[in-house]
A and B are shown apart, each in its own frame.
Chain A
Amino acid sequence: MELSGAEILVQSLKDEGVECIFGYPGGAVLHIYDALFLQDDIKHILVRHEQAATHAADGYARATGKPGVVLVTSGPGATNAVTGIATAYMDSIPMVVISGQVPRAVIGSDAFQEVDMVGITRPCVKHNFLVKDVNKIAETIKKAFYIAATGRPGPVVVDIPKDVTDPKIKVPYHYPRKVSLRSYNPAVKGHKGQIKKAVELLLSAQRPMIYAGGGVILGEASAELTALTRLLGYPITLTLMGLGAYPATDRQFVGMLGMHGTYEANMAMHECDVLLAVGARFDDRVTGKIAEFCPHAQIIHIDVDPASISKTVRVDIPIVGEVKPVLEEMIELVQENKKKPAAKTLETWWAQIAQWQALQCLDYDRTSTLIKPQYVIEQLYEATRGEAYVTSDVGQHQMWTAQYYKFDQPRRWINSGGLGTMGFGLPAAIGVKLARPNADVVCVTGEASIQMCIQELSTALQYKTAIKIVNLNNRYMGMVRQWQEFSYESRYSHSYMDALPDFVALAEAYGHVGLRIDQPSQVRPALEEALAMRDRTVFLDIVTDRTENVYPMIEAGKAHHDMKLRVAPGTPTNRELA
């Protein structure tokens, strides 16, 4: 079979099992778009900005576990995609981004819409390729998917000069069934001796703690993590990226940890004597002050990426391998081991944790006449029975969602944790809805974040992706304002959102339903109403208490036991901001 470069690319994607790609056409990818036009197997989603293509593909990948696929043109198309590529890179999301490039003959001549995409993306991709030979397209695409999805996943960019996809030049097509790279052999199984040592240490713990992250979700190891945690009876905390890896409604779950984690999770981290870290990378938002991180603990760390181990925190028992097989082995060893967790000491430990929990660090004023953002998330949780796919943007609303929406299943909580990309939520929700058309998909956002990719309301209409946008509108860049209140004597430098659009009218202009809610009593009915409109995108503009802060908070440079808590129960809600 002889095909052109463009046809080879499209056929390779089909042979890779790709069903849906997100993109935006332009000069350098016209041959590819023509080949896409002439087939029906791959669905192409036309976004309104290339950044959204990457976020939508990212959402698709997070919901399904399959690599998201993006197609953009050279130059500005490519650079617009970079934010989304970096977002995926920081959260280890499998993604393949195909970018057009100017023809080979003019590369390096500052040609129209030329940019060195391989150079620009080098620090924010797992790997990238420039394909200079039509005969190498199929093999490169195979390698790109293999690299993106295995080991610690990540985005891979494939840059293809326009003349390489020339429809007039046809070459034999063969899609390799397997690919192996001599320089890339990610670890699968962990070291048996290390796993044994880890289990011995775990079973001898007095004050054990399990700390799991996004690696558990990426590694499809939620069931194993849950089984091991229940078998041991130990407390477990999850990172922002790990939420859903262990059921949040389970009694052993003590909440998220870190900067806006619960008091009990952070205190338990501080006081524990054995810490089991699973697929988590000791991010600075998790550890707080490194010198005082888990000062009493011996640390076991399971991670597929050896570079994550002892990067910021020295660990005692490193285990390099995929979390799923390692956890399976641990479960077996715990079951076989004669030693059992000491019931008495464990009871004391749980009693201590119960004391911390009694502080009710997530309590807020439920009597307020203003809409409390926490209340909205609680109502959303109930209205969706905790089963929705929830995407978010970045800021206070993101933290409140992480704190108050109890995710019981993996892949339901979709947010930009590592890069913290405002504008992520709406396109990601579109990607999720395309992957999960029958599920409730909600984008929790704020009036600042939503405006960073608001143009995607148009995409949502075109593809009838009926998502629900919960806009917690406090007329501030809330998290910026909160930091300014705490650290800059309430000098709210440029964190005020002036001249906001009428979001209801805007949503309607885009062909959707808009609802404005400004009374607490309207919140639940409005959510129910929006969710009942199964085939419509609904924009809920919810006017919330603009003074509300995210608590608890570990301020930058402080340790886990040094948390800022809500001042006292019943703190006045209608406080004036200076």
Chain B
Amino acid sequence: MKHILSILIENESGALSRVAGLFSARGYNIESLTVAPTEDPSLSRMTLVTRGNDDIIEQITKQLNKLIDIVKLIDLADSDHIERELMMVKVKAVENTREEIKRLADIFRGRIIDVTAVSYVIEITGTSDKLDAFVRSLPENAIIEVVRSGCTGISRGEKGLHL
């Protein structure tokens, strides 16, 4: 099952490699990983998507908590949450496909943020599933390049992950 681990970590050099190293050393899988400083510059917020059965996720959570640099972590999958991923897709947009691609972008609430005579760059956010669906719906051979941020998320309601 997919789990989204939301992690507060000391914003120090090497902290990211401790997390990445833990996963490779213990044979766990990282599906995606995003990290950036929070409103408190001494802390970074990391969102890590991984898969595994309950035993594996329990062990991953415990091992992450053991890392000295990790301040707090929660598994977003345990409660109601919102997840979002940002994607930018560069597509070939010529003659007859130009209109079609623009319509598709509208349907998926994407925005065209760069235009040339032969291409668009489309920005789109949503759950990873939605982004997958958009990619699938594009005309064959239209894609020049896809860049995705990896999933990030936040819990619903008034409670939050903070110190």
A→B interface (CB under 8 Å): 118-119, 122-123, 126-127, 130, 147, 181-184, 305-307, 309-311, 314
Contacts and interface: CB of A to CB of B under 8 A. Distances in A.
B85 interface: no
Contacts of B14: 118-119, 122, 130
A183 B71 contact: yes
B71 A182 contact: yes
A183 B69 contact: yes
30 contacts: A118-B14, A119-B14, A119-B17, A122-B14, A122-B18, A123-B21, A126-B68, A130-B13, A130-B14, A147-B68, A181-B68, A182-B71, A182-B163, A183-B10, A183-B68, A183-B69, A183-B70, A183-B71, A184-B68, A305-B66, A306-B62, A306-B65, A307-B59, A307-B62, A307-B65, A307-B66, A309-B62, A310-B55, A310-B58, A310-B59
Contacts of A306: 62, 65-66
Contacts of B66: 305-307
Nearest to B15: A183
**In the A-B complex, the 10 residue pairs with the closest CB atoms:** A307-B62, A183-B71, A127-B68, A123-B25, A184-B68, A306-B62, A122-B21, A307-B63, A307-B66, A182-B71
A394 to B, nearest CB: 23
A182 B72 CA distance: 9
Contacts of A122: 14, 17-18, 21
Interface in B42-94: 55, 58-59, 62-63, 65-66, 68-71
Nearest to A184: B68
Interface residues of B, number: 19
A17 to B, nearest CB: 22
A305 B62 CA distance: 9
B91 to A, nearest CB: 39
Nearest to A122: B21
Contacts of A314: 55
A380 B14 CA distance: 49
Interface in B1-46: 10, 13-14, 17-18, 21, 25
A311 B26 CA distance: 12
Nearest to A307: B62
A122 B68 CA distance: 12
B15 to A, nearest CB: 10
A118 B21 CA distance: 12
B83 to A, nearest CB: 25
Contacts of B55: 310, 314
Residue from B55, B65, B68 whose CB has the most chain A CB atoms within 10 Å: B68
A311 B59 contact: yes
A5 B14 CA distance: 23
Nearest to B24: A123
Nearest to A186: B66
A170 to B, nearest CB: 26
B35 to A, nearest CB: 16
Nearest to A309: B62
Given A119-B14, A307-B63, 9 more contacts: A118-B14, A119-B17, A122-B21, A126-B68, A182-B163, A306-B62, A310-B55, A311-B59, A314-B55
Contacts of A123: 21, 25
A448 to B, nearest CB: 29
B77 to A, nearest CB: 19
Contacts of B25: 123
A138 to B, nearest CB: 18
Contacts of A147: 68
Contacts of B63: 307
A182 B70 CA distance: 9
Nearest to B66: A307
Contacts of B68: 126-127, 147, 181, 183-184
Contacts of B59: 307, 310-311
The listed residue with most B CB atoms (<10 A of its CB), out of A119, A123, A309, A314, is A123
Contacts of A310: 55, 58-59
Contacts of A130: 13-14
Contacts of A305: 66
A119 B17 CA distance: 8
A157 to B, nearest CB: 12
Contacts of B70: 183
A305 B65 CA distance: 10
B87 to A, nearest CB: 32
A147 B17 CA distance: 19
A560 to B, nearest CB: 22
A118 B13 CA distance: 11
A258 B10 CA distance: 40
A89 to B, nearest CB: 12
Contacts of B62: 306-307, 309
